[in-house]
């Protein structure tokens, strides 16, 4: 007989870990106890040495999907105690006993098997789920998490389901949303006029989709609009109906093999694509084309994640467009009545059900970089799970940015980032933001003691924070935009600083009141210095230059001393510039991309922010050359004028656009490496974090890290939150945490 003591650090509370250990202990015939601790769980077991070792080996392999095991410390103890049975011991430090709520999890293989088994009592039942899968966050109304406080409260369990629920040996033990055709929700199909259709709703829906209809389909966190993706006439109609002229559509494929027919899929991409979180993964197209789905080089692909999806992808349906049902920047629709009303004239049928969605949660979106998610949008499947950080601090509400809004609430070493919220300039979105802050506070029992927001005076999140700080008498910290990006990437990688931060984005409020966005910062959570930037660009007409890229092209060409006669409205722009009439300066990297995209003739009128950069990346050909990099001054400033002159002269010589696009990005990569290298040699700082929306460029992300390594630097990129403004609230929270800790000594 031996006695084994184990300490397990990580996120192992509130994820079904103790029932799992109970089952495993029973399986190996061991005795002992388990107890929650402040950093995880503590476990003590007695039994045969062989059984204990097998148990220890099986534990990390078979742990519940949501468990994040950071460290297991096993040690064998001298004497045995003579435990009988297995006990779940109460502890004083159960900070997260009832507070960790699972994200929504895609249908598991066991449920999928039952769904397709004619002998099973849930055969073809679109709401089948178990402890390992199903809706969670999106159906929770309140805590503690049990059925009565979810959408499933409206569906009392039948005796068969109740029996499974109470049986610890059963896969549905304590599965709150467990249900069956007898006791659970039902799916129904309505036509465009809202009339319920007779017959099997899923069979009819499939026939309608095949016939080219556009259907609203209720998912986990909101409605999708679904249609055939192989018929440009149908997708063109969807674009017209939805007034979504050029933004790419995401598609859902039956399985990874199907996705491989149109996209290159690496093993790492396949793993994340088919993992239980089921994000939309941005995959490289196999060949150019499919522009009716996406005009750039990537297609957003996800696999079916609900049983309803699984039932739709039958009978020759392999791929469907699955785009969020929302109208011009309003939040995704999630209520039946709302969809029926607002999707009039857009959807030609409605595949709905009567299980309410409590909380809207968009599909998550990511690339795969170095084998891990590189998030663009962290939402369904991830939220509301915390990001675990070192040196955390409770009671902080970080209010995020504006266009890609998010917030974070903190508790101990956990930071709880919100789901994707959207653009706060939209009133409905702002209401959603405020409601979600209240919801998160309640779910995780957090009362903010310190608010933190951006320095931009006009961000709606800044106003929210200011109003609330005043109303509740709370301290407010305003953090510079790019400093927050930098801190977010540091926290994402568990770095404590000092770091060099290459922070490139479209726009952020600088400490000098101008717009920044091509920055190289030095510092950490405590503060920063601006050590590098790019030559500022006048934005002719202010915000209009974000859409009308010709305006930026004009400014670049004129400043570089190149001809501007090819630009329409050149005389007007000249007048505005000379009169300094609404021409604010910006060092935003996004603007440099926009201007070059326009000079190269790739895009002159953008229908959404960042389109110029996305298309420029897609246009790039294979080429290793770069233009000379001129860095001067203190802080270092990249003078892009020689580069612009070269681009113009090579263009005149007939060098293809794709080559020029590549050389432009190669130049930026060289510039970034030179800039960071120079600062590193002066300061000895070697860690370089990459953050900001301009780093959502895979051409750069696949090349820049190596160039930084050549300079003897250590590059770091995001993998837990987004590099764009959505990830910024994490950085705000960490900066505030450090300040509170300093104050507390």
CB neighbours (10 Å) of residue 470?
10
562 binds, among Zn ion, Fe ion, none (CB under 5 to 8 A by kind): none
Residue 152 or 322 with smaller CB distance to Zn ion: 152
505 binds, among Zn ion, Fe ion, none (CB under 5 to 8 A by kind): Fe ion
Residues 6+ apart with CB under 8 A from 210: 228, 316, 317
104 binds, among Fe ion, Zn ion, none (CB under 5 to 8 A by kind): none
- Closest approach of Cβ 183 to Zn ion, in Å? 3
From the list 83-91, 502-510, 557-565, 629-637, the region that binds Fe ion by CB under 5 A is 502-510
From the list 177-185, 211-219, 368-376, 407-415, the region that binds Zn ion by CB under 5 A is 177-185
- Closest approach of Cβ 691 to Fe ion, in Å? 8
- Which residue's CB comes closest to Fe ion? 505
CA distance linking residue 207 with residue 200, whole number of Å: 11
Interacting residues with Zn ion between 666 and 705 (CB under 5 A): none
- Closest approach of Cβ 693 to Fe ion, in Å? 6
Residue 505 or 617 with smaller CB distance to Fe ion: 505
CB neighbours (10 Å) of residue 585?
17
- Closest approach of Cβ 692 to Fe ion, in Å? 5
Where do the H-state alpha helices sit in 155-214? 159-166, 201-210
Candidates 505, 559, 674, 687; binder of Fe ion (CB under 5 A) is 505
Distances from the Cα of 376 to the Cα of 288, 522, 727, angstroms = 23, 25, 9
For 625, the 3-state DSSP assignment is coil
Q: Is-contact 263 286, C-beta < 8 A? A: yes
User: What are the contacts of 537-540 at 24+ separation with CB within 8 A?
Assistant: 537/585, 537/586, 537/587, 537/588, 537/591, 537/592, 537/595, 538/577, 538/583, 538/584, 538/585, 538/586, 539/515, 539/583, 539/584, 539/585, 539/586, 539/591, 540/573, 540/576, 540/577, 540/582, 540/583
Number of residues that bind Zn ion (CB under 5 A): 10
Residue 164 or 348 with smaller CB distance to Zn ion: 164
From the list 298-306, 505-513, 588-596, 733-741, the region that binds Fe ion by CB under 5 A is 505-513
130 binds, among Fe ion, Zn ion, none (CB under 5 to 8 A by kind): Zn ion
- Closest approach of Cβ 277 to Zn ion, in Å? 15
Q: Is 284 exposed, middle or buried (0-12, 13-18, 19+ CB in 10 A)?
A: middle
Residue 477 or 564 with smaller CB distance to Fe ion: 477
158 binds, among Zn ion, Fe ion, none (CB under 5 to 8 A by kind): Zn ion
Number of residues that bind Fe ion (CB under 5 A): 3
Q: Is-contact 17 25, C-beta < 8 A? A: no
DSSP conformation letters of 393-436: -SSEEE---STTB--EEEETTEEEE----B-TTSHHHHHHHHHH
Residue 55 or 374 with smaller CB distance to Fe ion: 374
From the list 417-425, 455-463, 488-496, 506-514, the region that binds Fe ion by CB under 5 A is 506-514
Candidates 148, 154, 182, 427; binder of Zn ion (CB under 5 A) is 182
725 binds, among Fe ion, Zn ion, none (CB under 5 to 8 A by kind): Fe ion
Rg of the chain, C-alpha, whole Å: 27
Candidates 21, 51, 130, 560; binder of Zn ion (CB under 5 A) is 130
- Closest approach of Cβ 695 to Fe ion, in Å? 10
Candidates 34, 43, 52, 180; binder of Zn ion (CB under 5 A) is 180
Interacting residues with Fe ion between 567 and 626 (CB under 5 A): none
Residues 642-652 as b or e (16 or more Cβ within 10 Å = b): ebbebbbebbe
DSSP conformation letters of 275-287: STT--EEEEEBSS
Nearest to 523 by CA among 493, 486, 478: 486
- Closest approach of Cβ 170 to Zn ion, in Å? 12
Q: Is-contact 498 523, C-beta < 8 A? A: yes
Candidates 178, 348, 519, 725; binder of Fe ion (CB under 5 A) is 725
Residue 484 or 673 with smaller CB distance to Fe ion: 484
Q: Is-contact 44 87, C-beta < 8 A? A: no
Strand ordering across the sheet containing 251-253: 187-191, 349-353, 215-218, 223-228, 319-324, 251-253, 298-302, 280-284, 365-369, 372-377
Residue 559 or 725 with smaller CB distance to Fe ion: 725
508 binds, among Zn ion, Fe ion, none (CB under 5 to 8 A by kind): Fe ion
- Closest approach of Cβ 205 to Fe ion, in Å? 41
52 sits near Zn ion (criterion: CB under 5 A): no
From the list 181-189, 375-383, 606-614, 719-727, the region that binds Fe ion by CB under 5 A is 719-727
Nearest to 100 by CA among 361, 386, 459, 450: 386
Distances from the Cα of 619 to the Cα of 381, 503, 601, angstroms = 32, 24, 11
Give the CA angle between residues 634, 640, 644 to the nearest 5°. 165
Residue 292 sits at φ, ψ, to 5 deg, of: -70, -20
Sign of CA dihedral 650, 654, 655, 660: positive
From the list 46-54, 232-240, 503-511, 707-715, the region that binds Fe ion by CB under 5 A is 503-511
CB neighbours (10 Å) of residue 637?
18
From the list 238-246, 405-413, 508-516, 666-674, the region that binds Fe ion by CB under 5 A is 508-516
508 sits near Fe ion (criterion: CB under 5 A): yes
Interacting residues with Zn ion between 153 and 172 (CB under 5 A): 158, 161
Q: Is-contact 540 576, C-beta < 8 A? A: yes
- Closest approach of Cβ 155 to Zn ion, in Å? 8
- Closest approach of Cβ 254 to Fe ion, in Å? 37
Nearest to 174 by CA among 134, 131, 140, 114: 131
- Closest approach of Cβ 495 to Fe ion, in Å? 19
- Closest approach of Cβ 305 to Zn ion, in Å? 12
183 sits near Zn ion (criterion: CB under 5 A): yes
From the list 166-174, 407-415, 556-564, 724-732, the region that binds Fe ion by CB under 5 A is 724-732
Residues 6+ apart with CB under 8 A from 519: 482, 501, 502, 503, 504, 530, 532, 533, 587, 692
Find the distance separating the first CA and the last CA of the chain, reported in whole Å.
48
Q: Mark residues 94-123: x for contact with Zn ion by CB under 5 A, - for none.
A: --------------x--x------------
From the list 353-361, 601-609, 723-731, 735-743, the region that binds Fe ion by CB under 5 A is 723-731
Residue ranges that bind Zn ion, judged by CB under 5 A: 108, 111, 130, 132-133, 158, 161, 180, 182-183
Residue ranges that bind Fe ion, judged by CB under 5 A: 505, 508, 725
């Amino acid at each position: 007989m031996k006695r084994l003591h184990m300490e397990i650090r990580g996120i192992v509370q509130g994820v079904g870990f103790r029932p799992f250990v109970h089952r495993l202990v029973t399986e190996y015939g061991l005795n002992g106890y388990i107890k929650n601790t402040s950093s995880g769980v503590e476990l003590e077991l007695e039994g045969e040495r062989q059984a204990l070792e097998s148990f220890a080996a099986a534990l990390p392999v078979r742990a519940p999907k949501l468990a994040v095991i950071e460290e297991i410390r096993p040690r064998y103890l001298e004497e045995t105690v003579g435990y009988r049975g297995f006990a779940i011991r109460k502890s004083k430090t159960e900070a997260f006993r009832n507070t960790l709520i699972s994200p929504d999890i895609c249908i598991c293989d066991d449920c999928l098997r039952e769904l397709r088994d004619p002998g099973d009592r849930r055969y073809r039942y679109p709401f089948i789920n178990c402890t390992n899968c199903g809706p969670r966050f999106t159906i929770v109304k309140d805590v503690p998490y049990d059925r009565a406080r979810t959408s499933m409260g409206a569906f009392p369990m039948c005796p068969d389901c109740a029996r499974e629920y109470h049986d610890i040996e059963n896969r549905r033990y304590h599965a709150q949303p467990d249900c069956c055709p007898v006791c659970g929700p039902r799916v129904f199909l309505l036509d465009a006029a809202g009339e319920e259709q007779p017959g099997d709703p899923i069979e009819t829906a499939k026939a309608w989709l095949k016939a080219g209809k556009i259907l609203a389909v209720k998912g986990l966190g909101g409605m999708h609009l679904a249609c055939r993706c192989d018929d440009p006439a149908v997708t063109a109609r969807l674009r017209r109906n939805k007034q979504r002229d050029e933004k790419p559509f995401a598609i859902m494929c039956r399985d990874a093999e199907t996705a491989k027919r149109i996209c290159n899929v690496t093993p790492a991409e396949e793993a994340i694509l088919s993992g239980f979180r089921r994000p939309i993964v941005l995959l490289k197209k196999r060949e150019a084309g499919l522009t009716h789905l996406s005009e750039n080089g990537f297609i957003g692909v996800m696999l079916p994640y609900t049983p309803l999806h699984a039932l739709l992808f039958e009978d020759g349906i392999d791929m469907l467009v699955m785009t969020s049902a929302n109208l011009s920047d309003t939040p995704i629709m999630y209520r039946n009545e709302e969809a029926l009303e607002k999707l009039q004239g857009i959807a030609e049928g409605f595949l709905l059900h009567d299980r309410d969605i409590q909380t809207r949660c968009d599909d998550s979106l990511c690339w795969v970089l170095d084998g891990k998610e590189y998030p663009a949008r962290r939402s369904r499947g991830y939220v509301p799970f915390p990001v675990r950080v070192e040196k955390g601090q409770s009671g902080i509400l970080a209010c995020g940015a504006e266009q890609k809004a998010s917030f974070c609430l903190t508790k101990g070493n956990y930071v709880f980032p919100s789901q994707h919220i959207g653009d706060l300039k939209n009133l409905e979105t702002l209401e959603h933001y405020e409601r979600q802050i209240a919801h998160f506070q309640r779910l995780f029992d957090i009362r903010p003691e310190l608010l933190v927001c951006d320095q931009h005076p006009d961000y709606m999140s800044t106003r929210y924070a200011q109003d609330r700080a005043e109303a509740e008498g709370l301290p407010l910290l305003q953090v510079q935009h790019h400093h927050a990006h930098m801190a977010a990437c540091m926290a994402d990688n568990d770095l404590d600083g000092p770091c060099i931060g290459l922070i490139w984005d479209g726009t952020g409020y600088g400490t000098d009141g101008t717009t920044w966005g091509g920055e190289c910062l030095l510092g950490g959570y405590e503060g920063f210095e601006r050590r590098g930037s790019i030559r500022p660009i006048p934005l002719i007409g202010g915000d209009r230059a974000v859409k009308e890229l010709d305006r930026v092209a004009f400014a670049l060409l004129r400043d570089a001393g190149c001809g501007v006669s090819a630009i329409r409205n050149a005389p007007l722009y000249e007048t505005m510039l000379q009169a300094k009439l609404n021409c604010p300066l910006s060092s935003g990297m996004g603007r440099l991309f926009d201007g070059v995209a326009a000079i190269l003739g790739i895009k002159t009128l953008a229908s959404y922010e960042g389109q110029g950069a996305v298309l420029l990346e897609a246009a790039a050909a294979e080429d290793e050359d770069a233009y000379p990099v001129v860095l001067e001054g203190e802080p270092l400033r990249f003078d892009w004028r020689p580069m612009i002159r070269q681009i113009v002269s090579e263009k005149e010589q007939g060098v293809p656009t794709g080559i020029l696009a590549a050389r432009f990005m190669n130049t930026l990569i060289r510039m970034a490496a030179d800039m960071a290298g120079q600062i590193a040699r002066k300061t000895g700082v070697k860690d370089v974090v990459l953050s900001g929306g301009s780093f959502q460029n895979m051409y750069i992300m696949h090349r820049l890290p190596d160039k930084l390594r050549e300079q003897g630097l250590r590059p770091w990129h995001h993998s837990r939150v987004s590099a764009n403004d959505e990830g910024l609230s994490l950085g705000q929270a960490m900066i505030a945490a450090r300040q509170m800790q300093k104050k507390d000594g």
